[in-house]
Amino acid sequence: MTMNLKDLSRSLWVFHLNTGSCNGCDIEIVAALTPRYDVERFGMKLVGTPRHADILLVTGPVSRDMEKKVKRIYEQVPDPKVVLVVGNCGNTGGVFYESYNLVGPVDRIIPVDVYVPGCPPRPEAIIDGVVRAWKRLEELGGKK
Ligand code: SF4
């Protein structure tokens, strides 16, 4: 079944967490949200607290000082929830792989549902990841 963001009947709320990114991925996320790509027109929006989110979007490898915070924020997102990791650093450690101050890629700390590779990924790839995350959310019984 082909799905796209226009099929969303309700807004998809996303909490964005930077666990140690260089900000390159974060800039591409901003590009996806702002008028050039404008995913907000489909109802997707960033929210200011994980307690209101459907999707936890993570950028960056997990630095030591972020480990406990990542776990706590993951627990604060209500079920059903989906974790979407954007960028090579969060997926594998990327250019920071095996750095002394990292505890690893995101899936060593919390479960990850959707991976978007790239350094940084283009906005189109991020939007594709959001659609995959939305499909996963539906499988879990979340927003339709
Ligand atoms: S994947 Fe590339 S752009 Fe994204 S946080 Fe890592 S180094 Fe920066």
Q: Is the CB of 27 under 6 A from ligand 1?
A: no
Q: What is the pLDDT of residues 51-106, one digit of tens each?
A: 999 999 999 999 999 999 999 999 999 999 999 999 999 999 999 988 999 998 99
* Residue ranges with strand state E in 26-139: 45-46, 55-59, 62-63, 82-86, 102-104, 114-116
For residues 84 and 117, is the Cβ–Cβ distance under 8 A?
A: no
**C-alpha 108 – ligand 1 centre gap (Å):** 18
Query: According to the model, what pLDDT value does residue 42 have?
Result: 84
> Global pTM?
0.92
Q: What is the pLDDT of residues 26-60, one digit of tens each?
A: 999 999 999 999 988 888 889 999 999 999 999 99
More confident residue, 1 or 123: 123
Query: According to the model, what pLDDT value does residue 8 have?
Result: 62
- Nearest atom in ligand 1 to the alpha carbon of residue 120 is 3
Q: First vs last Cα of the chain: how many Å apart?
A: 14
d(CA 3, CA 16): 23
**C-alpha 10 – ligand 1 centre gap (Å):** 31
Examine the pLDDT at 2 and tell me if it is beyond 60.
no
Q: What is the pLDDT of residues 107-120, one digit of tens each?
A: 999 999 999 999 99
Query: According to the model, what pLDDT value does residue 1 have?
Result: 47
**C-alpha 137 – ligand 1 centre gap (Å):** 26
Tokens of 75: 């627990």
Interhelix angle 123-139/24-33, rounded to 10 degrees, is 80
Q: Is the CB of 119 under 6 A from ligand 1?
A: yes
More confident residue, 79 or 141: 79
